[in-house]
Amino acid sequence: MDISSYSAVPIFLGFGVLFVAFNYFLNSLVTRNVAEPQKYDSYECGEVPEGSAQIQYNVRYFIFALIFVLFDVEVIFIIPWAVVYKDLGMFAFVEMVLFLLILILGLVYAWRKGVLHWFTRPVEH
């Protein structure tokens, strides 16, 4: 592999930097720089906002969502394996069993810690 095959990298990098700089310059020409109070309000589909937009959420919601995303992504890994299962052989089967065992152990751990228990009582302020 010779060095001339890498010469396109700095050209594309330079083009990207110039493109971003040009767009920032164009933005500064087009936009007006007036500080209006409406600019700093939160926008909720045309409704007048009531109260602060910064509400403290319970961490449990985020943990629950992360666990859902984790298992959802893992299913994406299992489906292609299941499609070509017969061609892969016993080694791939053992690997998938270990993979599923690790996932099940993680689910059991989260369950025993009470992460999956959904509380409906309001959060105290």
The Cβ of residue 103 has, within 10 Å, a number of other Cβ atoms equal to 16
Is the domain of 28 the same as that of 68? no
Report how far residue 120's alpha carbon sits from residue 118's, in angstroms, rounded to the nearest whole number.
7
User: Does some domain include residue 85?
Assistant: yes
Residue 123, in any domain of the structure: no
Domain contains 35: yes
Residue 89 covered by a domain: yes
73 and 104 inside one domain: yes
Q: What is the pLDDT of residue 70?
A: 86
Residue 72 lies inside a defined structural domain of this protein:
yes
Give residue 29's domain range. 3-40
Rounded distance between C-alpha atoms, residue 104 and residue 44, angstroms: 41
Q: Report d(CA 65, CA 77) in Å as an integer.
A: 19
Q: Are residues 64 and 109 in the same domain?
A: yes
Say if residue 108 is in the same domain as residue 68: yes
**109 assigned to some structural domain:** yes
Taking a C-beta distance cutoff of 8 angstroms, is the pair 62, 91 a contact?
Answer: no
Domain count, the chain: 2
Reading the chain (125 residues) residue by residue, the pLDDT tens digits are 566 778 888 999 999 999 999 999 999 999 887 777 777 776 767 777 777 767 777 777 888 888 888 888 888 888 888 888 888 888 888 998 999 999 899 889 988 888 877 766 655 55
